[in-house]
């Protein structure tokens, strides 16, 4: 048994990582043939991509996937810790599974992902959720086959969570959820330690993958017919810093952009690490999509400082304007937290003012949520829930106004759309534009999913646009 420990999880030192190539033990291939698994994923794209690896591991073991947990022999929850409601969702699901397990004694239940890295969660699982057969964390996903085996054989709760990162594992099998759009991890972990955020504890130290490994994966995706790749990391702009003297995200983007891949995206960018040379690369290559997620969190310098964000409103705006000027037709999206401890009405007003200035194309807005073990958890949370909710609502009204206003500007214009699907009934297609906007459109021809077509926008809504294909 290995239990999580926050003290260790926040350690950052100069250890170098062994890079190991995962090999699936052929002796256990199809060991569970005929068994079915249900995998539920919470949280961000990183978790979604981890689930693609978990699914592949389970398929190699002979499991097949089901969409209803009532039909499953194995239920696995890949969890998220970012806000309290993510926790609540996973625990709510565990409650339902407990009920199922009381009827289906052989059901195997597992929990993994970011919540598994939290000591308090694991304590709770050991105390109140004894029916959970196994728990593993974000650093030892590759051990799933052994952990599962042990949990079944030894018939006791198996908890294997590493607080510190181990080796950097390459070559995990993957079952991708989409045939045309793929996620590619470029950097794991986060060193920023924003005071409200749990990710540096649950995902560990920043570790970049070797550029050769990334470029090889991209080549394979191109060979397999993928049209869009999204480079993933909690802070992709820190890519390479731990490995190279002079190879950054800008260089990586450039090397990928020279390949025959129509669409490249990346997320998420921390404003602190955004360099001029990266911005130039974004402006230079048409296959790097003009869409940048640039989380601001707050428009008040006082709050930004308390959040440990390492930039001011002024330096953020300077960066924002540079990106807008250098990258043609770029759409910028953001994340904002309201109700951070000590946020006054004036601070909040500054956030609203910043949104009025930036007129974001998209924004994810959140109420501050206390995360145990983070520095902000110790601050006096003096904004009432009522006030937080009211601020969120006021903020959403302003951000929504600009979503619509930006979308309206596209009316009458032509945009390129990667076709993702068709609703048979009305023969309407849908897909995303280069700036990542959802487009519903009609066409006179039969279009193939995965093709990129030109669509003329006929009408704009707040969260989507309507159009028709122009041949
Ligand atoms: N690495 C990304 C953010 C990942 S988390 C970045 O720094 O840009 C996604 C978003 O969740 C954050 O940008 C933040 O707005 C929000 N978030 C993180 N911790 C939170 C907390 N404790 N309460 C409320 N929102 C939070
Ligand atoms: Fe969290 Fe900040 Fe790291 Fe983003 S940069 S994952 S908000 S600590
Ligand atoms: Fe959640 Fe972990 Fe992602 S906390 S947002 S799943 S990195």
More confident site: 166 or 461: 461
Handedness of CA 88, 92, 94, 95 (dihedral sign): positive
pLDDT of residue 320: 98
Return the percentage of the chain with pLDDT > 90, whole number. Answer: 92
Beta bridge partners of 75: 38, 109
Please give the backbone phi and psi of residue 420, each rounded to the nearest 5 degrees, phi first. Answer: -110, -25
Residue with tokens 């693609």: 52
| Domain spanning 6-160, CATH architecture | 3-Layer(aba) Sandwich (3.40)
The 10 Å CB-count burial string (b at 16+, else e) for 40-66 is ebbbbebbebbbbbbbbbbebbebeeb
Q: What tokens does 149 get?
A: 């085996």
Q: Is 80 exposed, middle or buried (0-12, 13-18, 19+ CB in 10 A)?
A: buried
Predicted confidence (pLDDT) per residue in 294-316, tens digit: 999 999 999 999 999 999 999 99
Answer yes or no: is pLDDT of 425 > 80.
no
Residue with tokens 């599962």: 148
Answer yes or no: is pLDDT of 164 > 80.
yes
The C-alpha angle 57, 66, 24, rounded to 5 degrees, equals 10
**Distance from residue 83's CA to the centre of ligand 1 (Å):** 8
- Residue 317 CB neighbour total at 10 angstroms: 16
* Mean pLDDT of all residues in 7-30: 87
Answer yes or no: is pLDDT of 424 > 80.
no
Q: Which atom, in ligand 1's list, is nearest to the CA of 194?
A: 7
- This prediction's pTM: 0.96
Predicted confidence (pLDDT) per residue in 107-153, tens digit: 999 999 999 999 999 999 999 999 999 999 999 999 999 999 999 99
**Distance from residue 460's CA to the centre of ligand 1 (Å):** 29
Beta bridge partners of 207: 188
pLDDT of residue 427: 80
Residue 167 to residues 16, 148, 184, 297, Cα–Cα distance (Å): 9, 20, 18, 33
Q: Is 258 exposed, middle or buried (0-12, 13-18, 19+ CB in 10 A)?
A: exposed
Question: CA 271 to CA 324: how far, in whole Å?
Answer: 14
Q: What is the C-alpha radius of gyration for the chain, rounded to an integer number of angstroms?
A: 23
pLDDT of residue 231: 98
Q: Check: CB of residue 239 under 8 Å from CB of residue 250.
A: no
Q: What is the 3-state secondary structure (H, E, C) of 377-403?
A: HHCCCCCCHHHHHHHHHHHHHHHHHHH
- What are the sequence ranges of the domains in the chain? 6-160, 174-408, 414-469
Q: What is the CATH number assigned to the segment(s) 174-408?
A: 3.80.30.20
Answer yes or no: is pLDDT of 17 > 90.
no
Q: Answer yes or no: is the C-beta of 269 below 6 A from any ligand 2 atom.
A: no
Of the residues 319, 366, 381, which should be mutated to test ligand 1's pocket, given the most ligand atoms within 8 Å of the CB?
Answer: 366
The DSSP annotation for 51-88 comes to HHHHHHHHHHTT-EE-S-GGG-SEEEEEE--SSHHHHH
Q: Check: CB of residue 9 under 8 Å from CB of residue 204.
A: yes
Predicted confidence (pLDDT) per residue in 386-414, tens digit: 999 999 999 999 999 999 999 999 999 99
Task: Tell me which residue has its CA closest to atom 4 in ligand 1.
Answer: 234
Assign a CATH topology to domain 414-469: OB fold (Dihydrolipoamide Acetyltransferase, E2P) (2.40.50)
The C-alpha angle 71, 40, 376, rounded to 5 degrees, equals 150
Q: Which residues contact 240 (CB under 8 A, 6 or more apart)?
A: 208, 211, 247, 248, 249, 251, 252
Ligand 1 site residues (CB inside 6 A) read: 82-83, 196-197, 234-235, 268, 270, 295, 297, 335, 337, 366, 368-369, 371
Ligand nearest to the CA of 374: 1
Q: Which atom, in ligand 3's list, is nearest to the CA of 46?
A: 3
Confidence of residue 65 (pLDDT cuts 50, 70, 90): very high
Q: Which atom, in ligand 2's list, is nearest to the CA of 235?
A: 5
Q: Tell me what the pLDDT averaged over the chain comes to.
A: 95
Q: Which atom, in ligand 3's list, is nearest to the CA of 198?
A: 4
């Amino acid at each position: 048994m290995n239990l999580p420990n926050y003290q260790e999880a926040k350690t950052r030192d100069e250890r170098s990582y062994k890079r190991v190539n995962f090999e699936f033990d052929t002796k256990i291939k199809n060991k569970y043939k005929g068994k079915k698994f249900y995998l539920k994923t919470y949280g961000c794209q990183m978790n979604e991509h981890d689930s693609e690896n978990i699914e592949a591991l389970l398929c190699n073991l002979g499991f097949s996937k089901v969409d209803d947990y009532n039909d499953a022999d194995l239920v696995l929850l890949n969890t998220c810790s970012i806000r309290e409601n993510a926790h609540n969702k996973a625990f709510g699901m565990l409650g339902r599974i407990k009920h199922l397990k009381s009827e289906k004694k052989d059901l195997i239940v597992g929990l993994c992902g970011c919540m598994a890295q939290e000591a308090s969660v694991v304590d709770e699982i050991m105390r109140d959720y004894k029916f959970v057969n196994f728990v593993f964390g974000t650093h030892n996903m590759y051990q799933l086959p052994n952990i599962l085996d042990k949990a079944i054989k030894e018939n006791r709760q198996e908890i294997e969570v590493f607080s510190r990162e181990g080796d950097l594992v390459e070559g995990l099998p993957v079952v991708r959820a989409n045939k045309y759009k793929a996620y590619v991890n470029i950097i794991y972990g986060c060193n920023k330690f924003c005071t409200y955020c749990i990710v540096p504890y649950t995902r560990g130290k920043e570790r970049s993958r070797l550029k050769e490994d990334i470029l090889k994966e991209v080549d394979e995706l191109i060979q397999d017919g993928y049209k869009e790749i999204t480079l993933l990391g909690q802070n992709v702009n820190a890519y390479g810093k731990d490995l190279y003297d002079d190879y950054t995200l800008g260089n990586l983007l450039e090397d990928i952009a020279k390949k025959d891949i129509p669409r490249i995206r990346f997320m998420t960018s921390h404003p602190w690490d955004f360099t001029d040379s990266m911005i130039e690369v974004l402006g230079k290559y048409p296959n790097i999509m003009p869409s940048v997620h640039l989380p601001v969190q707050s428009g008040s310098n006082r709050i930004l400082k308390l959040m440990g964000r390492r930039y001011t409103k002024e330096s953020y705006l300077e960066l924002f304007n540079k990106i807008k000027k250098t990258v043609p037709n770029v759409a910028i999206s953001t994340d904002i937290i309201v109700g951070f401890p000590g946020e006054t009405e004036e601070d909040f007003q500054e956030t609203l003012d910043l949104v009025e200035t930036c007129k974001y194309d998209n924004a994810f807005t959140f109420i501050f949520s206390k995360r145990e073990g983070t520095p902000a958890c110790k601050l006096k949370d003096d904004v009432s829930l009522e006030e937080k909710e009211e601020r969120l609502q006021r903020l959403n009204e302003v951000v929504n106004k600009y979503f619509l206003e930006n979308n309206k500007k596209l009316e009458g214009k032509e945009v390129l759309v990667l076709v993702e699907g068709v609703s048979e009934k009305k023969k309407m297609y849908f897909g995303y534009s280069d700036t990542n906007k959802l487009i519903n459109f009609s066409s006179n021809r039969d279009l193939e999913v995965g093709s990129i077509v030109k669509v003329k926008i006929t009408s704009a809504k707040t969260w989507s646009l309507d159009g028709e294909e122009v041949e």
